[in-house]
Structure 1
């Protein structure tokens, strides 16, 4: 499905879409950080300490306190704010470049724009922020004075000092593949879900209700985590390993893809999938519920001012 024939492509600027995405990112981070902590702990669990999502959350709460479920919130919230601003904004730019002479965008080109936006966010924002987030989340216990990393800035400085600039981009390859594939699926699925469920087409000035946006966003975000599970596990393992303590267990992305299933079984490549599904689709539901209201308002105002829509 493509754009509505009457209205053509959206009249909302990439800057507005980026702003809308950033506001949605703040809302998502505050609501869903505990699930992200649980996902990271499950992915790093090599000895079967945690029996599942509930058991992992219970053990973290019992051993480290409720605040531990929001470990890494500062880099996570900053990361999501910047990530969604870049994702929504760059996707809008790429879509603009890929439209034909009539302003139309095929499904194939929409998916390509999403993939390119995913690569952009992975290289510029996601990888370094997730390195810091994962290093903070993997620290266990209540004795904060014994933690190697004292906070986000200290963590980043320590990684740079001990591992160099490349340390901040550990796991870049699987992050690119994960985010590119995720956003390729997401933008295509969200556009088609809006059209199929609510007869909403980009640029038509129709503002979805928050519930409608949440439904479309939730459904659109289910496919990505399933498709990118192995990339995400490999990314987490690569980002978590340090040269100064455990040494380098995985020599790179492809080595991790081979060694993890060889040592732990194929199911290990989808460790943390359930918490990802419990976090990402609800997170996208929150993001789209917020961002659709903002972009919908500006879209409608632009159409009214241009005379293409009357109210």
Structure 2
């Protein structure tokens, strides 16, 4: 996505690229939010002492039965704020890196350079998006708890205010290290694999949604396999409670060790199916929305109907 985002340097102003990048992520989140909730519920299954769900289908059926269909969108406000911060920051930092590279080297970045810039941009985006990520995880997990244990955040603003009041400002960055680590892995693999696969598939598919969907699906599989354990650790740290002044986990390694010991190695990939299904469509939808906004801005604001956006 970041590679696509940086190509309109002669037409679309930099600030509009930030705006469109964040907006495209927010629109995609509106579509895939239920899958994100399923993934989160699967990842924290077992933290209450029992294995709550055997499959994503069981999660879905229990949500419909006990909470209602609209609960699939629990935490949507936090998800939108996350995209408004994470996606915008990631795209913005990558654009700055891209402009710097082109100015100093007078060429587009190589694959290795693009991977490196993606890692750095992902780290910055994850840091700025972490508060919304904490609120999102907690809001999506709340209904699985007993009524007396629920946090009952009204919205993402209420979540921020209560977290700061009850736990301190730094609690908004709980799980920041695994979040940043995951973002670095995701960006490194996703940017490079998506670009390479897309170029290979151009021999068989014309430029368009089928090509983007095919490349994004394979890229998402590789990215999901590599980043899932870190995502699971991040999720558990962000929703953990502090009991008698002692947090449930001391860090990412502690989470992974306890999961391996108590739940087995395959628990590292709990929620893999909705995670994979979410990542592919989110990448594709973000790309499509971004492309259409680019075209609309070029046509109606820059009044250049002949301009065609580049997609690689």
Q: Under a length normalisation based on structure 2, what TM-score does the superposition of the two structures give?
A: 0.83
Aligned partner of 2:100 in structure 1 is 97
- Alignment check: 8 A CA contact 1:218 1:281 kept: yes
Distance 1:267 1:146, change over 3 A: closer
Count of aligned pairs between the two proteins: 294
Aligned partner of 2:276 in structure 1 is 277
Shift of 1:290: 1.4
The counterpart of 1:172, out of the listed 167, 172, 176, is: 176
Alpha-carbon distance in structure 2 between the residues aligned to 1:48 and 1:142: 14
- Alignment check: 8 A CA contact 1:36 1:276 kept: yes
Shift of 1:19: 2.5
Aligned partner of 1:204 in structure 2 is none
Alpha-carbon distance in structure 1 between the residues aligned to 2:84 and 2:64: 27
- Alignment check: 8 A CA contact 1:208 1:293 kept: no
Shift of 1:266: 1.3
Distance 1:144 1:68, change over 3 A: farther
Alpha-carbon distance in structure 1 between the residues aligned to 2:293 and 2:123: 25
- Three-state SS of the structure 2 residue aligned to 1:103 is coil
Alpha-carbon distance in structure 2 between the residues aligned to 1:37 and 1:141: 12
2:33 is the counterpart of 1:33: yes
Shift of 1:184: 1.6
**Structure 2, unaligned stretches of length 5 or more?**
none
Alpha-carbon distance in structure 2 between the residues aligned to 1:280 and 1:69: 17
Shift of 1:258: 1.9
Shift of 1:298: 6.5
- Alignment check: 8 A CA contact 2:298 2:307 kept: no
Aligned partner of 1:267 in structure 2 is 266
2:58 is the counterpart of 1:59: no
2:93 is the counterpart of 1:80: no
1:13-32 Cα shifts (integer Å, max 9, x gaps): 54333223223212211111
Alpha-carbon distance in structure 1 between the residues aligned to 2:157 and 2:42: 25
**1:1-311 to 2 correspondences below 5 Å:** 11=10, 13-46=13-46, 47-99=50-102, 101-125=105-129, 127-140=130-143, 147-151=150-154, 152-198=156-202, 208-243=207-242, 248-295=247-294
Distance 1:9 1:170, change over 3 A: same
Alpha-carbon distance in structure 2 between the residues aligned to 1:260 and 1:51: 16
- Alignment check: 8 A CA contact 2:38 2:56 kept: yes
Alpha-carbon distance in structure 2 between the residues aligned to 1:178 and 1:257: 14
- Alignment check: 8 A CA contact 1:119 1:177 kept: yes
The farther-off stretch of 207-216 and 93-102 is 207-216
Shift of 1:212: 3.6
Alpha-carbon distance in structure 2 between the residues aligned to 1:188 and 1:299: 27
Shift of 1:292: 2.6
1:192-233 Cα shifts (integer Å, max 9, x gaps): 33433338xxxxxxx953444344333333322210111111
Q: Under a length normalisation based on structure 1, what TM-score does the superposition of the two structures give?
A: 0.83
**Structure 1, unaligned stretches of length 5 or more?**
200-206
Alpha-carbon distance in structure 2 between the residues aligned to 1:117 and 1:108: 14
Alpha-carbon distance in structure 1 between the residues aligned to 2:15 and 2:210: 25
Root mean square deviation of aligned Cα: 3.2
Shift of 1:247: 5.1
Alpha-carbon distance in structure 1 between the residues aligned to 2:56 and 2:43: 11
- Alignment check: 8 A CA contact 2:27 2:286 kept: yes
- Alignment check: 8 A CA contact 1:186 1:224 kept: yes
